[in-house]
Amino acid sequence: MKTIFKWIGIVVGILLVGLVGLLTYVKFALPNVGDAPTLQVARTPERIERGKYLANHVTVCIDCHSARDYSLFSGPIVPGSHGKGGELFNQSQGFPGSFTAKNITPFGIGNWTDGEIYRAITTGVSRDGHAFFPVMPYPYYGKMNDDDVQSIIAYLRTLPPVENKPAESKADFPFNFIINTIPKKAEPMPKPDPNDELATGKYLVTIAGCIECHTQVKQGQIIPEKAFSGGRDFKLASGTLYSSNITPDKETGIGNWTKEAFIARFKSYADSSYTAHKVGPNEFQTIMPWTMYGGMKDQDLSAIYTYLMSLQPVQNKVAEKFKPEVAIR
């Protein structure tokens, strides 16, 4: 009997040593995406303009890295807060920790090299080597063409410095270990021929990370067979938002939408006469930054529509677009 206990003790000891070794490796050897590249981005007017367009209307970096006024529909950006960071994603919204968007104006990243910014955008690894939480959709940004990434970097260098030091992010256990396994090396896509509408649409939808919000998840991972079919839930102060089905299913998706209607849906928020309305307690609210996406060019919205219509239709009726969080009295 003593021999059996002895062997059990040895096996348990080996397992514990192995576990400690694995956790040590994950904590201190990962993420392993390589050093930041040596990079000097040319700040040409054309590149800055392209970066401004992408960061504000396609990849919408400025969306999360600014203050948003959620007392108004769609949470428009508070004037003067562009790039200052501070938006919080925490446990009350279903996140495994407390994660804060960083200051990406020159006040926050002015002493970063272009290569360090490039690595952060495309792999999710900060200047000091720690991993970002993928609420910043770097798995999709990592597929962005290098020229477009450099254009965003050039644009960020032109932002007015805003003095703001957001709180440090902190992942809960065991995600403080898991987070280090997420960053991967960038796999940039080639820039599509602008005359190829389908390829352009696929590229834009990919780098915008549309699939992330419009797909249900299981244990934090999107469910591939439900791609773009909506139903993912987002916890807001006023209730729970469910994303829309944007597959070409005619009954539950956008299969009956015309291209003109699709474009008009976005452009209505870019109209000079549009003013975001006040949203009261328990009233419909959305995190979709309509006014930012509304600034997309018609030809890009057209390409996105063409790509979405090429997808496999998935029947998924989102029963409740928005479920109010009714206060208990």
The residue behind tokens 């597929």 is 143
Residue 72 bridge partners (DSSP): 278
Same domain for 102 and 170? yes
Q: Is 200 in the same domain as 114?
A: no
207 located within any domain: yes
| End-to-end alpha carbon distance in the chain | 63
Do β-strands 97-100 and 170-171 pair in parallel, antiparallel, or remain unpaired? antiparallel
Q: Are both 43 and 79 inside the same structural domain? A: yes
The predicted structure's pLDDT at residue 131 = 97
Residue type, 315: Q
Domain hosting 266: range is 193-329
Cα four-point dihedral sign 318, 320, 321, 325: negative
Task: Please give the model's pTM, rounded to 2 decimal places.
Answer: 0.92
Q: Is residue 24 part of a domain?
A: no
Domain count, the chain: 2
Residue 12: predicted pLDDT:
55
End position of a domain, from candidates 191, 221, 251: 191
Q: Are residues 115 and 141 in the same domain?
A: yes
Same domain for 248 and 176?
A: no
Give per-10-residue mean pLDDT for the chain (329 aa).
Answer: 61 57 58 95 98 98 96 96 96 94 98 98 97 96 98 98 97 95 96 96 98 94 96 93 98 98 97 93 94 97 98 94 73
Same domain, 153 and 270: no
pLDDT, residue 307, reads 98
**Dist CA 284 CA 321 (whole Å):** 9
In terms of domains, do 136 and 42 share one? Answer: yes
Is residue 25 included in any domain, yes or no?
no
Predicted confidence at residue 27, as pLDDT, reads: 58
Q: Which of 142, 157, 191 is the last residue of a domain?
A: 191
- The pLDDT assigned to 124 comes to 98
| Same domain flag for 279 and 291 | yes
pLDDT of amino acid 329:
38
Sign, CA dihedral 123-64-320-250, equals negative
Please indicate, yes or no, whether residues 71 and 147 belong to a single structural domain of this protein: yes
Report yes or no on 27 lying in a domain. no
Q: Answer yes or no: is 17 within a domain.
A: no
Task: List, for residues 9-66, the tens digit of each pLDDT value.
Answer: 565 556 555 655 555 655 556 689 999 999 999 999 999 999 999 999 999 999 999 9
**CA-to-CA dists, residue 257 to 196, 238, 246, 261, 325, angstroms:** 21, 29, 10, 6, 31
Residues 41 and 133 occupy one common structural domain = yes
Q: What is the pLDDT of residue 25?
A: 54
Question: At which of 167, 191, 215 does a domain end?
Answer: 191
One domain, residues 219 and 170 = no
Contact 318, 231 (CB under 8 A): yes
Whether residue 303 contacts residue 242, with contact meaning beta carbons closer than 8 Å, is answered with: no
Kindly state whether residues 328 and 209 are assigned to the same domain.
yes
Place of tokens 């452009």: 267
